[in-house]
Structure 1
Amino acid sequence: MKSKLLALLGGTLLSGVAMAGGYQVNLASQRQIGMGHTGTGLVTGTSSIFFNPGAMSHVRENGVTIGASGIFSKIAYSAPESSGVTARTDNPAGTPFQVYAVYGITDKLKAGIGVYTPFGSTVKWGNQWNGRFGLEQLKLSAIYIQPTLSYAITDKIGIGAGLTYVKGKVNLQRSIPVQDQEGNYGKAELDGDGTSVGYNVGVYVKPSDKISLGLSYRSKVDVDVEEGDATFTVASSLKSRFPDTKFKASLPLPATLSLGVGIMPTEAWTIAIDVNRVEWSAYKSLRFDYADPVNGSTFTENARNYEDSYIYRIGAEYKVTDALALRAGAYYDNSPVQEGYLTPETPDSDARGISGGIGYKLSENFNLDASFLYINRKERTDAGDKSGGIAGTYKAVAYIPGISFTYNF
């Protein structure tokens, strides 16, 4: 029993942060979401800070962009040998945002800063489903702040680099399989935050008017929680086994290598193809160290053994008029989670995304971009026996509208 309790406690907290990446929903630009979240091989405007810092040197105007999306997601669960759905999440809407600013220091040198939220959501199962000892609720947030410089070596080649400062926060709640005199189960709440630093570099090449190429690399980021709070609500007779204490842990968020191609067959059409390689193999295991013994142990360690994965993206934009643009895109995202390692925080499986969007020039200086993304994850059955997960079948979908405004000057 002791080892099972520790596995549940240690194996859940930051695995949720990892699954926010493994369950990757990038929402860095409303224009690019409409195009399947492509953009590595294009000059995407202010959002080149995220997609390819090398392309930022070829942004024609100074600009500021403010945008946000709404994530409406549902996860359904069927217990082993059941005939139908036995639990559903009751997730509140997530609101990831992006803010970018680009300014030309000279004709060749551009400076920019981006603030964006690549990870962040809430998964809420409640305390009535049979997996409540693994998870009741998980809240995640991560804010990236990225100052960036980009230089145009020629009118066809640009390079750029940005430093990323990351601030992350997680709150997890779950039941504990111990009871008080009234038969109520205990409860654990784990709350912590951490910071880290990484980088984003890119090269942009435009060999002709009809073709452009891009290569970017976003580094691995190790998020460290040094003084997390572990709080336990249990019967007084069990409090010595479950003292309120501090914990520390470290989690590697993986590096991403992206290759992109832009094709402009006519002045009206832009077609983009991207391939992202996410180096999830960096996530081998997860260890927690506690300031005081929890159920008899000062640490716990759980295997994760994720695999590197690929995301394949395609998108297009058609300029109907000088003021109006229509967009569409799609992508396929391979899951990094091997059999036996599935957990209920954000149950991960191969995902298919379909998107659409519009861009409209409101005035000489103001642009509006709107997008809609639908994500459908394949149904997946897993024993979860290698990661402390909850055996069963999971199915997840998400609906994500978004809007942004850009001021150019």
Structure 2
Amino acid sequence: MTIPSKFLFRASLVAASVAAASSAYSAGFALNDHSATASGKALGGVAASNEDISSSFWNPALLTNAKSTTVYVSGAYVMPTMDVTLNSAKDATPALAGGAKDLSADGATNDSVDNTLVPAFYFAKPINERTVAGVSLNVPFGLSGDYGQDWAGRFHATETAIQDIALSFSLAHRVNDWASVGASVQIHKAEVVLESAVGTSTAAAGGEGIGRIEADDTSYGYSLGVALEPRKGTRIGLGYRSEVSFDFKGDVKYQNVAGVNQGLTTAGAGYQLINANVTDSIDFPSVLTLGVEQDLTPKLVLGLSAIRTGWGSMDGINIDFDSKQPNSVLTFGFEDQWMYSAGLTYAYSDKLTLRTGVAMDDSPVTDEYRSARTPDGDRKWISFGATYDFNEMTSATFAFTHVMIDDVSVDRDFTATGEEDASRGTLDADYKSSANVISVAMNMAF
């Protein structure tokens, strides 16, 4: 019997499934808390909002909300939970070494997602009465999760971490009393850490070790937006953030793999795992945001949003090694998805504004391709928040969001999923997840 060499190392190479377990706040691995103001109303009407400059992340035309030099600083503390119930797990030990070994006794983990701080910063300065320039710093995509190196599904995933930091330079112009346009260019710096077990748990088949990939890249994107108020009290906004194409470069390093022969055949021939440079190209998705706000009364505002994320651009990965190790390919199978939200803003007094909102956020992950790195489910949000104006120049904002995530199951078996799981064995597990998010912000005008 011959085991094709490219099968026996998928466990680590396939580790670049960049939509991972710990992004419990929003579907996929997008981060949507770029504004405590917007979070308090579950992003309802965010692309049409006239409240402050933080809505310019979704629609750069809203930078015209700045009437003087303005700084807005926001931070969101994301507290996810994920309980994993392990039903079964087996490694990929070759038949010539006794067949697959049951790993179920190694247990599961209920502490595989980490709390995360998501910062955001905005600066706006009017150039004249109609034009505003701005700079912002955001984290559009990110996650942090660690199953540990001893859990039963370690050949499918141990650790995944992603961070995309975007520095934007924006310009917005008020065309007339009811229309504004805006645009920005962005510099994106992204880093990825991907880790899992390699080899097999059976010493006769070479034993197991750990493979860890670290890679990064700098790329560019842009955004466009328009904001309209066709009649007093009715606001409409449309914003678009482009795809961002990354050509990741980094390296893979191994631990305890001296005896792991990844080209194992009945004759023992094959290649050894060696530290090597790696490359891969991945397109982070575009985001289209439509928002509508309607003043119901002088104090009460209704906001509605529809946000489309182009997850279909992430069709998969193809990790290339500058060694004899064969490329590793993983299919994501992501689908473009929409998020819908509705929010209310109530001016309780001259100093205090209250907000609440609900949202439905559909996951891009399909049942067919869900894995230990993508145990993603549809989400529902419940949010509330408030802003207190200390004076005409300074205000503080608070928001709380509870995210309910549909229970999902991961059922990976190479007899059904093919080569992508042939070296990782099988995994059958159930996931229950949720998240709480606390956001605070300060808005200062000069």
| TM-score exceeds 0.5 | yes
| CA apart distance, 1:241 | 1.0
2:310 to 273, 279, 295: 279
2:82 to 65, 75, 94: 75
Unaligned runs of 5+ in 1: none
2:30 to 15, 24, 35: 24
Amino acid at match of 2:229: K
- 1:110 to 1:235, Cα distance in 2 relative to 1, 3 A: closer
Contact 2:314–2:334 at 8 Å: present in 1 too? yes
| CA apart distance, 1:18 | 11
- The residue number in structure 2 matching 1:209 is 232
- The residue number in structure 1 matching 2:39 is 33
Listed as ranges, the matches of 1:1-400 within 5 Å are 2-16=5-19, 22-38=28-44, 39-80=46-87, 86-178=108-200, 185-226=208-249, 228-238=250-260, 241-294=272-325, 297=326, 299-385=327-413, 386=417, 388=421, 390-400=427-437
CA–CA distance in structure 1, aligned partners of residues 303 and 149 of structure 2: 45
Aligned to 1:22, the other structure's residue is in SS state coil
| CA apart distance, 1:194 | 1.2
Amino acid at match of 2:351: A
Aligned to 1:31, the other structure's residue is in SS state helix
Return the TM-score normalized by structure 2.
0.85
Aligned to 2:402, the other structure's residue is in SS state strand
| CA apart distance, 1:6 | 3.2
| CA apart distance, 1:19 | 8.7
| CA apart distance, 1:315 | 0.9
Aligned to 2:323, the other structure's residue is in SS state strand
Amino acid at match of 2:379: A
- 1:384 to 1:343, Cα distance in 2 relative to 1, 3 A: same
CA–CA distance in structure 2, aligned partners of residues 390 and 47 of structure 1: 43
CA–CA distance in structure 2, aligned partners of residues 76 and 115 of structure 1: 33
**Share of identical aligned residues, percent?**
23
Larger relative contact order (Cα-Cα within 8 Å, sequence gap ≥ 6)? 2
Computing the radius of gyration from Cα coordinates, the structure with the larger value is 2
CA–CA distance in structure 2, aligned partners of residues 281 and 209 of structure 1: 38
- 1:163 to 1:363, Cα distance in 2 relative to 1, 3 A: same
Amino acid at match of 1:118: P
Contact 2:153–2:427 at 8 Å: present in 1 too? yes
Root-mean-square deviation (Å): 2.4
- 1:180 to 1:339, Cα distance in 2 relative to 1, 3 A: closer
Amino acid at match of 1:64: V
Aligned to 2:6, the other structure's residue is in SS state helix
| CA apart distance, 1:17 | 6.8
Q: For structure 1, which segment, 105-114 or 131-140, has the greater mean C-alpha deviation from structure 2 after superposition?
A: 131-140
CA–CA distance in structure 2, aligned partners of residues 408 and 265 of structure 1: 28
CA–CA distance in structure 2, aligned partners of residues 32 and 221 of structure 1: 24
Contact 1:18–1:253 at 8 Å: present in 2 too? no
CA–CA distance in structure 1, aligned partners of residues 111 and 160 of structure 2: 11
Amino acid at match of 1:98: A
| CA apart distance, 1:55 | 2.2
| CA apart distance, 1:80 | 3.2
Deviations along 1:197-223, whole A, 9 cap, x unmatched?
111110100012221001111111112
- 1:349 to 1:17, Cα distance in 2 relative to 1, 3 A: closer
- 1:346 to 1:406, Cα distance in 2 relative to 1, 3 A: farther
Amino acid at match of 2:282: L
Contact 2:58–2:240 at 8 Å: present in 1 too? no
CA–CA distance in structure 2, aligned partners of residues 396 and 19 of structure 1: 9
CA–CA distance in structure 2, aligned partners of residues 75 and 94 of structure 1: 14
Deviations along 1:176-212, whole A, 9 cap, x unmatched?
2346979973011111111111111101000122210
Unaligned runs of 5+ in 2: 90-106, 262-270
Q: For structure 1, which segment, 200-209 or 390-399, has the greater mean C-alpha deviation from structure 2 after superposition?
A: 390-399
Return the TM-score normalized by structure 1.
0.92
| CA apart distance, 1:103 | 0.7
| CA apart distance, 1:346 | 4.6
CA–CA distance in structure 2, aligned partners of residues 344 and 322 of structure 1: 50
